[in-house]
Amino acid sequence: MSQSPRHTSRRTRPEVIGEAIKEYIARHGLGPGDRLPQESHLVEVLDASKGTIREALRGLAAQGLIQTRTGPGGGAFICEVSDDRAMELLGNYFFFRPPTIHDIYEVRKQLQPAMVESLQGRLDDAAFQRLEAVMAYYTHPPASLEEERTQRIKELEFHLVLVDYCPNPLLALMCRFMIRLLMSLTTCQRIYEQPYPELRQRGYHFQRRLLDALRDNAWDEARRITAEHMQAAQALMEAREATLDKAFFRADATDGDSPSREYLALRDFSASDRFVPHHSDHGYEPTG
């Protein structure tokens, strides 16, 4: 049986122009704060309408590569994509196929020790002060569930601080994204909202040992501690996930937080039969 050719989307004219502008930026060595040529110049050089140029610029702005300013001295200016924007775009990729806790830790077990090893010679007194300041949030048992959740987030922020000193931008991005996933994943949030003293105790213990090794420049030891930490954290998180899943299926449907007003509005709209799924290039079509 012959296989159908892989579908490839054809780029639109604004997308082609957007790529040309990015190539222009790279070839001319432009950086954050530099201004792109005026719209009239782009229209003339690229032989495109104003509408097409503006759509291309909107696409670059959506990617976080430029920002437009109005008024005197305005125009399109190059800007550096922020970490938050990069995380948002990566998160969109996984919107319909979110990774599991197991998936995340399988990657973290490979990347986190390598990231820690890359920090040789890059941690100064200010870096250690930042790490100690974060750890101060969870040196003690929490007084409330809200404080416990804050402690979980701060434990993850400890690793984000380390990532800030990683000299490899690709490794840093991948490690940072794994940590952000743990902060935002619904399953993880459910875990963080429940009492779980062992998670704090084990996390603090590993991080204290890691800080001591980093201060002593014991890099083999630091890598080993990090690997152990990732393995232990995975086991604890997966065990807790299994426990909460069982409790979730036993719970009454009215337990927990009520759905948001916005969600209920969307649900009611979908249930009204005003729109039904239609397998076409247009997605959803009116029923009449």
SS3 78: strand
CA distance 148 to 143: 8
Q: Is the pLDDT of residue 282 over 70?
A: no
Query: What is the SS3 assignment for 38?
Result: coil
pLDDT (tens digit per residue) in 216-230: 999 999 999 999 999
pLDDT for residue 195: 84
In contact, 155 and 138? CB cutoff 8 Å:
yes
Q: Mean of the per-residue pLDDT values for the chain?
A: 84
Q: Indicate whether 123 belongs to any domain.
A: yes
> Residues 6 or more apart from 14 whose CB is under 8 A from it?
52, 55, 56, 59
Select, from the ranges 41-45, 58-62, 212-216, the one with the highest average predicted confidence (pLDDT). 212-216
Q: What's the whole-model pTM score?
A: 0.70
Residue-level pLDDT at 262: 66
**Would you say residue 287 lies in a domain?**
no
Which of 78, 105, 131 is the C-terminal boundary of a domain?
78
Asked if residue 207 and residue 91 are part of one domain, the reply reads yes
The CA distances from residue 195 to 107, 233, 257, in Å, are 26, 16, 17
Residue 151 lies in a domain: yes
Structure confidence at residue 98 (pLDDT): 86
Instruction: Supply φ then ψ for residue 10, to 5 degrees.
Output: -85, 135
Model pLDDT, residue 286: 40
127, part of any domain = yes
175: nearest Cα among 236, 250, 117, 245: 117
- Helix then strand count (H, E) for the chain reads 12, 4
Local structure of 69: helix, strand or coil: strand
What is the per-residue pLDDT for 245? Answer: 67
Q: With bands split at pLDDT 50, 70 and 90, how would you rate the model's confidence at 4?
A: very low
Mean pLDDT (whole number) for 202-222: 97
